[in-house]
Structure 1
Amino acid sequence: MTNELKYRELVSGSLGVGLYWLWKGSFYYEDEWVELLLLLGAMVFVPLAMRQSGTLKTKAERGVVIWSTWALLLAYLQEPGLVAALFALPWLMVSLWLFDRALKKLLLSPLALVDKVHFAAYLYFPIGQLAAFSDRLGWAPLGFSPIIILLTAAHFHYAGFLLPWVLANLLGRKVPSYWQRGVAWAVLLGIPAVAVGITSSQFGVDPWVETLAATIMALGGLGVAFWHARLALEAGQVLTQRLASLGLFLCLGTGMILALLYGWRNYFPLSFLSIPWMYEVHGTMNTLGVGVFGILVNRKTSADKH
């Protein structure tokens, strides 16, 4: 693989995100920062993760992914409406295509925990694309505010795809212990549980449902963070991987502690835990954790093991 082919996802994605930055010029509005995080996930981190895990087999497949993310960029360079939604459609179709491929692979492979986690990344991923399509269409279903729909789109790029992808790489290193299996199941169950919890709160259900869901998700994420802290201390790690593991531990750990506190806000309220503060700090920490440091930790150890 040539260097041009190996790094074109990084170059293309960075160029696209930079173009968005120049186009907007400022990020004084909450939706613009969330859109930036979303595009970072879609154009840079997710394609790199797919390449590193061997999901994209050919140059043509990698090209389809890259061009569909550029279509998503065009969707976010204009006002919501039918045209913007049409530009968001290719990324949604790619996510469904990859889900179909992952499902077929799962049905032909042993149902080991690592296979389930790897499949979960592609199972949850299209939810983010459905939310992005809805956001670009200007449609907010179930009475949710537009910022919640946009946050859902970003959330399922990071917590929905990248976090299970990072976890699958951990599980692929060696046979997991009991506590590591518990972490894996907390992540698997926590991702859809949070969606159910937020939806239940929207319909006026007692907040304990959302609190329980956030607790499961946060404990799973914290488990992945502490797992990387232990990984940083293992023998045989190069310095860059040790630093990346430490960075993932700090950033993801911070993000999950904030998520836990936010989930318990109805019982132990903290004045600073507003939605804008959460997407600015929690969202940014998760972007650094499973995005930047997740890619760096696994840049040499990822393989098509699944």
Structure 2
Amino acid sequence: MTVLVGFVVALGMVVVVPLGLRLMDDEHRRLGPITQIWPVAGLLGAVSLLLERGSFAVVLAGAYALVTAWLAVLALFRLLRRRSVAPVEIAILTAMVAPAIAATSLVAERGGYELFGFGMTVLALTVAHFHFAGFAAALVAGLAASTVRSVASEIAALTVPAGTALVLLGYFTSEEVELVGAAVLTAGMWMLGWVIWRRVRPASPSLVTRWLFAGSALILAATMVLALSWAAGHVWDAVPHLSLTWMAATHGIANALGFAVCGMLAWGRLRQERRHVENAERR
């Protein structure tokens, strides 16, 4: 795993997922324990990236994988409890399951095992993809759909998980399917960015929160052009696309810091602002 991809993955495990877990609705308080333990598990997973491939790295990555499996089980309980396939639920369930897929690839990559015949590069990209498109983007799509009741927000909540799944399917089938997935995911991300820019961002009274939302939405729109050109360039040679190193340095870093981290901070601030308003109204 290259240094840049490793940094992006570590950021997802240690920062993005813990921030995101605190944003999920948890009326039965089942996410509390996993929210508390995740930073430690994420740190173990991040340390595994610093080690040479081998048994010790696999053990650390495996510890992280166990916690992601716990979250996936909670997703199953949520589905059985709510019995809903509304767009917002599909997005949230996708976010809860995605880290387990990423962690499975992480364990295989740290052990040097070609899972399903995939090489180390594909496994490393899968780890990154499912922490950000799988977890962060799906969670934000779910939050947007629960905050803004509109056709656009619901379409985003469906197309982001669908595009993520199609990209994964493309790994097993063909680059053409992966391109279709990238196109669906890009359309969903652009729609999500539009909803955030037009409907979510103006709802905050804080300039800082609005700027965080603005940066998250604009960076998302820009970086998905790179993702689409990357997928198209692997189908048609005439389509220009960046190298893997430059994709990690641009698309990867910008999405991790600009979209995911800024987005999670913005949603957290918006939630606190609304609580303050509710508390003030009660008084």
TM over 0.5: yes
Q: 1:153 aligns with which of 113, 122, 127?
A: 127
1:215 pairs with 2:186: no
Q: Could you tell me which amino acid in structure 2 is paired with residue 140 of structure 1? A: E
Residue 113 of structure 1: CA displacement?
2.1
Q: Could you tell me which amino acid in structure 2 is paired with residue 42 of structure 1? A: M
3-state SS of the aligned residue for 1:299? helix
Residue 237 of structure 1: CA displacement?
3.5
Q: Within 5 A, what are the aligned runs for 1:91-110? A: 91-110=64-83
Separation of aligned partners in 1, 2:113 and 2:176: 28
Q: Is the 8 A contact 1:43 1:69 kept in 2?
A: yes
Residue 214 of structure 1: CA displacement?
1.3
In structure 1, what is the equivalent of residue 137 of structure 2? 163
Separation of aligned partners in 1, 2:161 and 2:271: 20
In structure 2, what is the equivalent of residue 186 of structure 1? 159
3-state SS of the aligned residue for 1:119? helix
Q: Where does structure 2 lack aligned partners over 5 or more consecutive residues?
A: 273-283
Residue 57 of structure 1: CA displacement?
5.4
In structure 2, what is the equivalent of residue 138 of structure 1? 112
| Alpha-carbon spacing, 1:213–1:272, altered in 2? closer, same or farther (3 Å) | closer
Q: What TM-score results when the alignment is normalised by the length of structure 2? A: 0.86
Q: 1:117 aligns with which of 66, 83, 91?
A: 91
1:172 pairs with 2:143: no
Separation of aligned partners in 1, 2:53 and 2:220: 32
Q: Is the 8 A contact 1:254 1:285 kept in 2?
A: no
Q: Is the 8 A contact 1:245 1:293 kept in 2?
A: yes
In structure 2, what is the equivalent of residue 47 of structure 1? 18
Residue 54 of structure 1: CA displacement?
5.3
Separation of aligned partners in 2, 1:74 and 1:99: 23
Q: 1:296 aligns with which of 262, 265, 282?
A: 265
Residue 199 of structure 1: CA displacement?
2.7
Q: Could you tell me which amino acid in structure 2 is paired with residue 225 of structure 1? A: G
Q: Is the 8 A contact 2:201 2:214 kept in 1?
A: no
Separation of aligned partners in 2, 1:71 and 1:90: 7
Q: Within 5 A, what are the aligned runs for 1:1-306? A: 31-53=2-24, 60-111=33-84, 112-177=86-151, 179-201=152-174, 207-231=175-199, 234-265=202-233, 266-267=235-236, 269-302=238-271
> How large is the RMSD of aligned CA atoms in angstroms?
2.2
User: Which string of whole-angstrom CA distances, capped at 9 and with x for unpartnered residues, describes residues 231-276 of structure 1?
Assistant: 3663554211211111011211111111112222233634442222
Q: Is the 8 A contact 2:15 2:261 kept in 1?
A: no
Q: Is the 8 A contact 1:166 1:290 kept in 2?
A: no
Aligned length: 268
Q: Could you tell me which amino acid in structure 1 is paired with residue 222 of structure 2? A: T
Q: What TM-score results when the alignment is normalised by the length of structure 1? A: 0.80
Separation of aligned partners in 1, 2:19 and 2:189: 21
Residue 48 of structure 1: CA displacement?
1.4
Residue 225 of structure 1: CA displacement?
1.4
3-state SS of the aligned residue for 1:300? helix
Q: Could you tell me which amino acid in structure 2 is paired with residue 156 of structure 1? A: F
3-state SS of the aligned residue for 2:147? coil
Q: Could you tell me which amino acid in structure 2 is paired with residue 114 of structure 1? A: V
Separation of aligned partners in 2, 1:52 and 1:97: 18
**Aligned sequence identity (%):** 26
Q: Could you tell me which amino acid in structure 2 is paired with residue 181 of structure 1? A: E
Q: Where does structure 1 lack aligned partners over 5 or more consecutive residues?
A: 1-29, 202-206
